[in-house]
């Protein structure tokens, strides 16, 4: 499960802002410098949407929505970018933050499970285990390494998980915190902010990687269904 979630978080490239030719920009002759986009929906009709708060990236020249930032590693603009994670070799943003949180939870659970197994192996006697000194020494060494590794990974993912929830509840990504671009947004309830990341389904299913995001990457930031 942890491997599957890690793959979803690392391979998801829907955070990229589109740079297709059909993202057409033009100036409104009546309102002046009002940016608009013309797109066709599934029925074939055209819809003109105002994008006054959209900007053009000076690095990749991408027409990007609010809260999108340019990643110098991916060389693309990422929607609601939090940070570039070398652990998953991908940016954590609007589309895969849910998977990233799930990945942290499951890795932390695996670390706790490994520590519990070590404790149980020492508390419960094993009549079938060898009583040779070399075997006991190797077992002790293996248990010590496993506990240290699990404890380090557990503390690491716990710290990142706390940081992710703080960013969600404050409605301010790590990039926005550095650039001081978050506090001007209106206050939202914590459940609503968490729903924007995890989806509108029941909270019980938020930790299950059984469904992907459903909103289009060419639309403004909207919450998605589980």
Which of helix, strand or coil describes residue 50? Answer: strand
Q: Under a CB-based contact definition with an 8 Å cutoff, are residues 112 and 50 in contact?
A: no
31 is catalytic: no
d(CA 109, CA 153) in angstroms, rounded, equals 10
Query: What are 156's strand-pairing partners?
Result: none
Sheet bearing 32-40, strands edge to edge: 24-28, 32-40, 46-50
Which tokens go with 84? 């570039």
Distances (CA, A) of 107 to 41, 97, 110, 111, 215: 40, 15, 5, 6, 27
Instruction: Name the active-site residue from 60, 85, 143, 198.
Output: 85
Element (H, E) at 181: none
Q: Under a CB-based contact definition with an 8 Å cutoff, are residues 150 and 97 in contact?
A: no
Distances (CA, A) of 76 to 10, 108, 125, 202, 221: 15, 30, 56, 33, 17
Element (H, E) at 59: none
Which residues are the active-site residues? 85
């Amino acid at each position: 499960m942890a491997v599957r979630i890690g793959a979803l978080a690392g391979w998801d490239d829907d955070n990229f802002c589109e740079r297709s030719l059909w993202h057409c920009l033009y100036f409104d002759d009546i309102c002046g410098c009002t940016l608009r986009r013309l797109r066709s929906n599934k029925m074939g009709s055209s819809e003109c949407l105002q994008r006054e708060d959209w900007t053009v990236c000076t690095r990749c020249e991408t027409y990007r929505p609010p809260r999108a930032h340019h990643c110098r590693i991916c060389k693309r603009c990422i929607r609601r970018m939090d940070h570039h994670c070398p652990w998953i070799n991908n940016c954590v943003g609007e589309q895969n933050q849910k998977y990233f949180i799930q990945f942290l939870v499951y890795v932390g659970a695996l670390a706790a499970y490994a520590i519990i197994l070590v404790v149980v192996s020492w508390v419960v006697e094993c009549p079938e285990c060898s009583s040779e000194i070399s075997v006991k020494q190797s077992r002790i060494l293996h248990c010590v390494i496993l506990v240290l590794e699990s404890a380090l990974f557990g503390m690491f993912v716990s710290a990142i998980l706390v940081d992710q929830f703080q960013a969600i509840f404050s409605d301010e990504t790590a990039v926005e915190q550095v650039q001081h671009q978050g506090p001007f947004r209106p206050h939202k309830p914590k459940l609503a902010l968490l729903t924007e990341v995890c989806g509108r389904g029941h909270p019980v299913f938020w930790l299950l990687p059984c469904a992907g995001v459903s909103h289009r990457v060419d639309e403004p930031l909207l919450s998605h269904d589980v």
